[in-house]
Structure 1
Amino acid sequence: MFFLVFFAGSAAAESCLAPQPPFVPGDPQAAREYRDIIRSDFEVYIRDIEAYFRCLDDERARAFKEAREVSEAYGRFLKVIEP
Structure 2
Amino acid sequence: MFGFAPHDVLAEFCDPPQRPFVPQDARVAEDYADIIRRDFELYFRDIQSYLRCLDAERARAFQEGREVSEDYRRFLGRSDE
- Give the TM-score normalised by structure 1: 0.88
> Percent identity between the aligned chains?
57
1:24-51 Cα offsets, whole Å, 9 max, x none, are 0001110010001000000000001111
Name the aligned partner's letter for residue 55 of structure 2: D
Match of 2:71 in 1: 73
Number of aligned residue pairs: 79
Match of 2:6 in 1: 4
Match of 1:61 in 2: 59
The ranges of structure 1 where at least 4 consecutive aligned residues each deviate by more than 2 angstroms after the TM superposition are none
Name the aligned partner's letter for residue 46 of structure 1: F
When the two chains are superposed, the root-mean-square deviation of aligned CA atoms in Å is 1.3
Deviation at 1:71, TM superposition (A): 0.4
SS in 2 for 1:4: coil
The one of 21, 25, 28 equivalent to 2:26 is 28
Deviation at 1:3, TM superposition (A): 5.3
The unaligned stretches of length 5 or more in structure 1 are none
Deviation at 1:2, TM superposition (A): 4.2
Q: Give, in whole Å, the separation in 2 of the partners of 1:25 and 1:32.
A: 9
Higher helix share: 1
